[in-house]
Amino acid sequence: MYFNYRLASVFLFFLHLLSCNSEPDVEWTNLLDKDLSQWENYLSFRYPEGYDDEILLDDHGQEIQPIGLNKNDEYQVFTTSQEDDECILRISGEIYGCITTKEAYENYHLKLKVKWGDIKYHPRKKLLKDSGIMYHSIGPHGAEGWRSWKLSQEFQIMEGHMGDYWSQATSAIDVKALIPEYIMNPVADTGQDFISLGEGSDYPGYCLRSVNNEKPSGEWNEIELICFENKSIHIVNGEVVMVLKDSRYMDGDQAIPMLKGQIQIQSEAAEVYYKDIYIRPITSLSPELAAFYQ
């Protein structure tokens, strides 16, 4: 009898600890509706086959300007439909660009679902299907080499590469990863020390996810991005695939923290679908996630 009482006490003690460390029951905000009312859109270019980061010129040698902000009605790159009472966002990929939240966010948990369509466009017809979630996005549209996205950090959405990291423009970050050698890329590994990637760092702004946890093409994948203070975590179908910290951008030789900003979803030469885009504020990391930083 004494043993049962003691066992019950231990159970209640750990239940109390769990309740003290868990995030309060904060309501999720749905970011997706049929009118994309919480987003603006930006379109840059239909890039030609073989494009390699050069400035596009017209027949008279004049620089071609991006299509611009909130011009989607004419081009229909970003459209929505209703399927079984769910709102589905289709991104055609035909023109490079993005939708961008009107609000800026910090200290949040973002979750969404994504699956691939069938169509690809130049200059990625012979490459993997591609998209991405840009976070901590600040400044003008088209700040990076492809003139399509803001200064930001990227949670890569690509066939076989969901959860990779890319820096955009002059951003940089530290990632728990294996140090690259020769032509190899760094690979995320939660058992490693943090290494710096991106502008002002020893390594370029790219890191492979720790594991390919993507579902077969045509199936929905659940993506989660958790950002708290100077930390961010990439999660694919329930598995942590990258642990990052110290998000920043470089202004000359000065590193400036980049911990808050808009969220962008890319159009990048591939048809892709998104649904169930939700966000909620957080006041801490769960003990399981906080352990990655200890």
Q: How far is CA 89 from CA 136, 157, 160, 163, in A?
A: 22, 15, 21, 20
With cut-offs at 50, 70 and 90, classify the pLDDT of residue 155: very high
What residues contact 7, with CB distance under 8 A and at least 6 apart?
none
**Within-domain flag for 257:** yes
**Within-domain flag for 2:** no
pLDDT at residue 13, rounded to an integer: 36
**Within-domain flag for 53:** yes
Q: What is the mean pLDDT of the chain?
A: 92
Q: HEC string of 176-209?
A: EEECCCCCCCCEECCCCCEEEEECCCCECCEEEC
Residue type, 57: L
**Within-domain flag for 181:** yes
Q: How far is CA 147 from CA 40, 87, 99, 141, in A?
A: 16, 29, 14, 7
**CATH number assigned to the domain comprising residue 128:** 2.60.120.560
Please name which of 238, 222, 76, 89 lies closest in space to residue 157, comparing C-alpha atoms: 222
**Within-domain flag for 90:** yes
pLDDT at residue 24, rounded to an integer: 56
Total domain count, the chain = 1
Taking the model in full, what pTM does it have?
A: 0.90
Q: Is the pLDDT of residue 6 over 90?
A: no
pLDDT tens-digit series, residues 176-228: 999 999 889 999 999 999 999 999 999 999 999 999 999 999 999 999 999 99
Residue 109 and residue 282 in contact, taking contact as beta carbons nearer than 8 Å: yes
For residue 282, the enclosing domain spans: 26-293
pLDDT at residue 274, rounded to an integer: 98
**Within-domain flag for 107:** yes
**Within-domain flag for 17:** no
Q: Is the pLDDT of residue 11 over 60?
A: no
Please name which of 276, 250, 61, 106 lies closest in space to residue 168, comparing C-alpha atoms: 250
**Within-domain flag for 20:** no
pLDDT tens-digit series, residues 220-238: 999 999 999 999 999 999 9
